[in-house]
Amino acid sequence: MIFKICSQSEWQDACAEGLYHGAPIDLQDGFIHFSAAHQVRATAAKHFTGLPGLVLVAFDEDLLGESLKWEPSRGGDLFPHLYGTLQTELAVWVVDLPLDANGQHVFPEDIEA
């Protein structure tokens, strides 16, 4: 599984259209940023600390085809990047990412720490 963090409103708009084109940073970079399970908490801490109203969307990477590339990013770790739009129906699940008292997002327990 790979994961996308985005705002609830972004995801709702994408679902209404059936396609997710990406967040502003994705559009700027030319690909949709994802994180693997061992990366997603650090991604949230680095880019989303204190931001309410986010969701975590899970995808089966095997269903994304050849448009998904694993490329070096933060610290040389390989991150999944999707070149193209994303069909929202491919989401395996979507959960809210509430904030704890310290402004950190609370992840489902089965996501690697």
Q: Residues 6 or more apart from 72 whose CB is under 8 A from it? A: 78, 79
Burial class (CB in 10 A: 0-12, 13-18, 19+), 30: exposed
Residue 20 has pLDDT above 90, yes or no: yes
Rounded CA-CA distance 109/113 in Å is 9
**Band (113; pLDDT cuts 50, 70, 90):** low
pLDDT digits (tens, 9 = 90+) for 78-106: 999 999 999 999 999 999 999 999 888 99
> How far is C-alpha 18 from the geometric centre of its chain's CA atoms?
16
Query: Which three-class secondary structure state does DSSP give residue 79?
Result: strand
Confidence (pLDDT) at 23: 94
pTM: 0.94
Instruction: Parse the chain into domains and list their residue ranges.
Output: 2-97
The CATH label, of 3.90.226.10, 2.40.50.100, 3.20.170.20, 3.30.70.141, for the domain at 2-97 is: 3.20.170.20
> How far is C-alpha 89 from the geometric centre of its chain's CA atoms?
15
The length of the chain is 113
Higher pLDDT, 113 or 62: 62
Confidence (pLDDT) at 74: 75
Q: What share of the chain is helix, strand, coil (3-state, %, to 5)?
A: 35, 35, 35
pLDDT digits (tens, 9 = 90+) for 57-83: 999 999 999 999 999 987 889 999 999
Counting residues of the chain whose pLDDT is more than 90, the rounded percentage is 88
Question: What value does the mean pLDDT of the chain take?
Answer: 94
CA angle 12-19-21, nearest 5°?
95
